[in-house]
Structure formats: C-alpha cells, structure tokens
Amino acid sequence: MTGEQIIFLITAGYTLGSGLMVVTTRNLVHAALWLVATLFGVAVTYALLNANFIAVVQIVVYIGAIAILFIFAVMLTRKDLRDNTPQMNKNWWVGALLAVLTFAGFAFLLQGWSGFSKTAAAIPSEFDAVGALGEALVSPNAYVLPFEVASVLLLAALVGAVYLAFNKK
C-alpha cells in the first residue's frame, strides 16, 4: 500500500465518519459543525485529486459561507434546538434501508463498468489548471453561457431569498 493510498483512506474514513455524525447528531449546531468537518474532508479529497482551485473554493464557499449561513439559520430557528422530541422519523429504518440499497445499487452498477478501476495519468508539468479553467469559463465556444447564467441564478436566489425571509404578513 502506497502513502497516497493511506492518505486517501484516512481522508475517506474521516469524511464518511463526520458525514454520519451530520445525519445522526441531535444538536443541530453540532450537526452543522460536523458538516464543516465533512466539507473539509471533501476539500482534502479535491486536493488529493490535484484540483487546487476546487479545493480552495470548497473551503471558501462551503465552510466560509454556506456553513456560516446554516449556523445563522439554526440560531434563528432555535426553538427546536434543544427540545426533547426525537430528531428522526419513527420509521427511520426505512430510510436506512433505502440508503444502504442506494449504495449497493451504485456499487453494483459501477462494478460492471469497464473504466471502474482506471488509474490516473500524470498531469503534464506545464499544464496550468487555473488558467485553463479561466479560459474554459470565458471563451465563447466553451462555457461562457453557464458562466453568465450562474450570475442570473445567483441573482434569482438573492431576490427570492430576501423576499421569502422578509415578507411581513
């Protein structure tokens, strides 16, 4: 087993473990903090995949903004924070079964795929991933339309959320 594999296994175990804590912890602020831990593990996974930009953006956007938003939302709706009612549905085992079945289904489907245990080629030494991403995002024959539509989507989200959270009736 190589060092890279060991690092991957530690990262994966950490990510999945904290992911499990997210869905099982009773205290919602703790769940949000465990989500931060999971997101950090995912960022490490991106770093292992040599996707530097994505790894950093994961931390900036998810931990820096989305997790903060979650914690703020929990504090705003705090009535259910420490109540003693169960945090899970009565028939949680159905959900658990479905989740396990989903995982088994994925595993089964992927097992039959020819590219399943592919290994990665080395990245060309002169390859500038951030520059290539920039070029892909702005050049007209690549992804400039999704780039601009992303802006529209963010605008819609901002307007919609501001309207929703604040319509006083």
Binding of residue 78 to other proteins (CB under 8 A): yes
For residues 9-38, which are near other proteins according to CB under 8 A? Answer: 12, 15-16, 19-20, 22-23, 28-33, 35-36, 38
Residue 61's H or E segment, with its range, is: none
CB of residue 109 vs other proteins: minimum separation in angstroms? 9
CB of residue 90 vs other proteins: minimum separation in angstroms? 10
The site that binds other proteins (CB under 8 A) totals a number of residues, namely 127
Can you tell me which of 84, 116, 125, 141 binds other proteins, judged by CB under 8 A?
116
CB of residue 106 vs other proteins: minimum separation in angstroms? 4
Q: How many CB atoms lie within 10 A of CB 36?
A: 20
Per the CB < 8 A criterion, the answer to whether 144 and 137 are in contact is yes
| DSSP conformational letter for 103 | H
Smallest CA-to-CA distance from 36 within 79, 81, 69, 82 is with 69
Binding of residue 102 to other proteins (CB under 8 A): yes
Q: Which two tokens stand for residue 105?
A: 């289904």
Per the CB < 8 A criterion, the answer to whether 29 and 73 are in contact is no
Query: In whole angstroms, what is the distance from residue 7 CA to residue 118 CA?
Result: 19
CB of residue 112 vs other proteins: minimum separation in angstroms? 12
Can you tell me which of 114, 125, 141, 152 binds other proteins, judged by CB under 8 A?
152
